[in-house]
């Protein structure tokens, strides 16, 4: 076998291992995402309640200010009533006092309702916060374990890529870039041994002239049907799964 082919086969072997680690890493993404989603939901619940309290508190303050204003007005009306000497003046002042008292009573009952609602919202907020904190500590172990696996795989991947890079340096750059393009497109193996007289990847039979170049000259050629790189193994061993096993050359 030509040294170039040996080198490229070694690169391909590393690439197979790298793809396996990448697939393992990718499998962790949905688990992390689902932990993140649960955390986000708990956080959103807290935020929704918190901003509802903020809005309700603002309404409470406005009503409180209105009540203060109305109470002052009411006190002025009471003073007017106290000073009213004539019956007509007194009747008018009395009507005003009565009206203001009713309005104030309504507003104060509304304010009390708001205070009660705010209290309930505050309790809900505390419950949501407690739930979020509980979820956080519940997730801590799962996250740590997933992260440890991810870190370990990423370290393995970095090592494998470094080793692969060293081996790739020994392959002709043109051949390597053709190989890389095909492997990237297929997300899989790019270099196949011919199987008998056919492509090892797609089983299309190889024209005689190309077959000779592969087998006699030991060249690397492209399969016209599926586009993978082909080579002839010098010592054609039976392919696993074939019924020719046991007839090793
Ligand atoms: Zn093919």
**Rounded Cα–Cα distance for residues 113 and 47 (Å):** 23
To the nearest whole percent, how much of the chain has pLDDT over 70?
Answer: 94
CA of 222 to the centre of ligand 1 (A): 8
CA of 230 to the centre of ligand 1 (A): 8
Token pair in block for residue 209:
């002239």
Please report which confidence band the pLDDT of residue 93 belongs to, taking 50, 70 and 90 as the band edges: confident
CA of 202 to the centre of ligand 1 (A): 4
The pLDDT value recorded for residue 246 is 45
Mean pLDDT of the chain: 91
Map tokens 């505390």 to a residue: 126
Residue closest to 123 by CA, chosen among 49, 35, 200? 49
pTM exceeding the 0.75 threshold for the entire prediction: no
Whether pLDDT at 175 is above 90? yes
Whether pLDDT at 17 is above 80? yes
CA of 183 to the centre of ligand 1 (A): 13
- Helix, strand, coil percent values for the chain (each to nearest 5): 75, 5, 20
Q: How far apart are the first and last CA of the chain?
A: 17
Average pLDDT over residues 126-152: 95
Please report which confidence band the pLDDT of residue 59 belongs to, taking 50, 70 and 90 as the band edges: very high
Average pLDDT over residues 86-114: 90
Please report which confidence band the pLDDT of residue 240 belongs to, taking 50, 70 and 90 as the band edges: low
The pLDDT value recorded for residue 245 is 44
Whether pLDDT at 131 is above 50? yes
Rg of the chain over all Cα atoms, to the nearest angstrom: 41
Token pair in block for residue 12:
């391909």
Q: How far is CA 10 from the centre of its chain?
A: 35
- Better-predicted residue by pLDDT, 192 or 212: 192
DSSP 171: S
Average pLDDT over residues 66-91: 88
CA of 210 to the centre of ligand 1 (A): 13
CA of 206 to the centre of ligand 1 (A): 9
Q: Which residues surround ligand 1, an ion (CB under 5 A)?
A: 199, 201-202, 223, 225-226
**Rounded Cα–Cα distance for residues 220 and 179 (Å):** 11
**Rounded Cα–Cα distance for residues 42 and 237 (Å):** 60
**Rounded Cα–Cα distance for residues 92 and 75 (Å):** 15
Average pLDDT over residues 142-159: 95
Give the H or E element holding residue 192: strand 191-193
Residue closest to 194 by CA, chosen among 226, 223, 227, 225? 223
Identify whether the C-beta of residue 55 lies closer than 8 Å to the C-beta of residue 144: no
Tell me the domain boundaries of the chain: 7-168, 173-231
Looking at the domain covering 7-168, what would its CATH class be? mainly alpha
Map tokens 């024209």 to a residue: 207
Q: How far is CA 113 from CA 48, 116, 121, 123, 210, in A?
A: 21, 5, 12, 16, 90
The pLDDT value recorded for residue 228 is 97
Name, in order, each residue with C-beta under 8 angstroms of 10's C-beta and a sequence gap of 6 or more: 167
CA of 198 to the centre of ligand 1 (A): 8
The pLDDT value recorded for residue 247 is 46
The region that residue 203 occupies, defined by phi over 0 for left and psi between -120 and 50 for alpha, beta otherwise, is left
Please report which confidence band the pLDDT of residue 64 belongs to, taking 50, 70 and 90 as the band edges: very high
Identify whether the C-beta of residue 190 lies closer than 8 Å to the C-beta of residue 12: yes
**Tell me: the pLDDT tens digits for 27-43?**
999 999 999 999 999 99
């Amino acid at each position: 076998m030509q040294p170039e082919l040996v080198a490229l086969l070694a690169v391909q072997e590393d690439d197979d291992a790298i793809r396996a680690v990448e697939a393992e890493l990718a499998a962790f993404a949905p688990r992390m995402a689902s932990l993140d989603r649960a955390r986000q939901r708990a956080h959103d619940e807290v935020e929704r309640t918190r901003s509802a309290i903020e809005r309700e508190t603002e309404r409470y303050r406005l009503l409180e200010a209105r009540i203060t204003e109305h109470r002052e007005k009411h006190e002025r009306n009471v003073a007017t009533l106290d000073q009213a000497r004539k019956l007509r003046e007194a009747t008018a002042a009395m009507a005003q006092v009565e009206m203001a008292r009713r309005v104030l009573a309504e507003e104060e009952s509304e304010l009390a309702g708001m205070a009660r609602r705010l209290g309930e919202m505050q309790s809900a907020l505390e419950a949501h916060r407690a739930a979020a904190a509980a979820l956080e500590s519940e997730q801590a172990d799962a996250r740590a374990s997933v992260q440890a696996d991810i870190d370990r795989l990423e370290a393995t991947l970095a090592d494998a890529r470094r080793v692969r890079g060293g081996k790739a340096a020994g392959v002709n750059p043109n051949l390597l870039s053709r190989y890389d393009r095909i492997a990237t497109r297929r997300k899989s193996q790019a270099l196949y041994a011919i199987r008998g007289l056919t492509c090892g990847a797609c089983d299309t039979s190889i024209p005689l002239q190309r077959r000779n170049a592969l087998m006699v000259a030991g060249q690397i050629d492209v399969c016209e049907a599926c586009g993978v790189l082909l080579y002839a193994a010098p010592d054609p061993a039976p392919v696993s799964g074939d019924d020719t096993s046991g007839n090793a050359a």
